[in-house]
Amino acid sequence: MLPISSFSHAMITLCVFLPFSLGTLYKTCSYVEDLNTMHNPLGAVLTFLTLSLLVLILLASGERQSKYYIMLQVTLTCLLVVCFTTNNLLTFYIVFEVCLLPILLMIVHWGYQPERLQAGMYMVIYTIISSLPLLLIILYLFNLSETYHIWTLFNYSTVSGLLFFFGLAAFFIKLPIYGVHVWLPKAHVEAPLGGSMILAGVLLKLGGYGMYLYSCIVYINWTFSPLGFFLAVVSLWGGVLASLACMGQTDIKALIAYSSIVHMSFVVLGLLSGTSWGLISAIVIMVSHGWASSALFLLSYITYQSVGSRSFSYTKGVLSVAPVLSGLWFVFCMINMGFPPTINFLGEVLLVPVGLMWSAKIFIPMGAIMFMSVLYNMYLYSQINHGMLSNYLTLTKMMSQREMLALVGHLLPMIFVINMYLLY
């Protein structure tokens, strides 16, 4: 049996070479559907995001990881890759739900507090109940078309608007949008490091990817739909409320979790627009948020190791004793707030014509979210890094080389995305 370190290196090697193997296999096939897989821009980007985050999670976990923990992470990654590449709607639904099991086991087994059972229960109840109408709609579409093939189902758009809304609820809760978000902060606060990183980095993107597929299969012209405008406005005002909730947090992980809800409100606006601009902006925001939020949770874990608490009251003055750690806090807070020229800023700028397409009034909640995003990220950075040095801060538990390399690994993909035009 391999020791833990060898097993970790084997898994990292597998994840690095797996995309190249799949790419070679893809080129040998005349059609992607021969492998029962589907290629679309959103699924391809999210697959790369999933594989890269697995490598970074295993790297950041270091010697603390067990074989059971690694097995759960690799299993969850494989399920997510299947979910992003399958061309069968029923398979997508099954994997969409099964992805909850590994993250639930991580929370229950490695959670930090006794409330981890309640957090797992909240997550399961919210997501499972909301997915039942989606299953009924999938079976209804199969009864009409006698196929689960996603590209074939693009020709069937006979589902009514109200029925469409109940199916869409499963993805809204998975994102989540404000109002059905209660499970997310609880799950983040109780989850271990790898659980928080994969939950914020990829699992929340399942809702956006599901919205993309579902809106293509059950087509509604959102540009002229009152329901689409209503959902977009509700999502944006929910983002404003989530921004205000960020300003009132005393727990570092809870603040980062609520900031995810803020970003997902922009994703909903982009996907519901039904335009290429909206889709591109949603992809950019999801990718940027995936790496930035994962890095922020890693930074919060490193700070927690040094202080022994996630409370802002006990975590102060990091800048005076750990300038490198403080500098990384600064960089990723800037990315999270959408400061130019980061790719998160690019995604928000692309949303401007999308909002203008519907109504100029929609800029009120959009502007409020952008302004509040700057405020709560400045609050996050200043509360941790400035002020009098905390008596609880210990210098013996600062960043390891693995953690430093993992943080740099979060930053490199975003730099590569910015400079993708150099490849053409």
Q: Cβ neighbours of residue 88 under 8 Å, at least 6 residues apart?
A: 36, 148, 149, 150
| pLDDT tier at 421, thresholds 50, 70, 90 | very low
Q: Cβ neighbours of residue 33 under 8 Å, at least 6 residues apart?
A: 87, 149, 151
| pLDDT tier at 394, thresholds 50, 70, 90 | low
CA 100 to chain centre: 14
Nearest to residue 119, comparing CAs of 43, 189, 66?
189
Tell me the domain boundaries of the chain: 29-220, 224-412
Whether the per-residue pLDDT at 6 is higher than 60: the answer is no
Query: Quick check: 262 and 348 in contact, CB under 8 A?
Result: no
Give me the percent of the chain exceeding a pLDDT of 70: 82
DSSP per-residue codes, 135-146: HHHHHHHHHHHS
On the CB side of 391, CA atoms within 13 Å amount to: 0
pLDDT digits (tens, 9 = 90+) for 130-159: 888 888 888 888 887 778 888 777 766 555
Cα radius of gyration (the chain)? 21
Q: 108 is written with which tokens? A: 């229950």
On the CB side of 64, CA atoms within 13 Å amount to: 13
User: What 3-state DSSP class applies to 387?
Assistant: coil
pLDDT digits (tens, 9 = 90+) for 71-114: 889 999 999 999 998 888 888 999 988 988 898 888 888 876 77
pLDDT digits (tens, 9 = 90+) for 38-70: 667 788 888 989 999 999 998 888 656 788 888
User: What 3-state DSSP class applies to 66?
Assistant: coil
Q: What is the pLDDT of residue 339?
A: 84
pTM here is 0.87
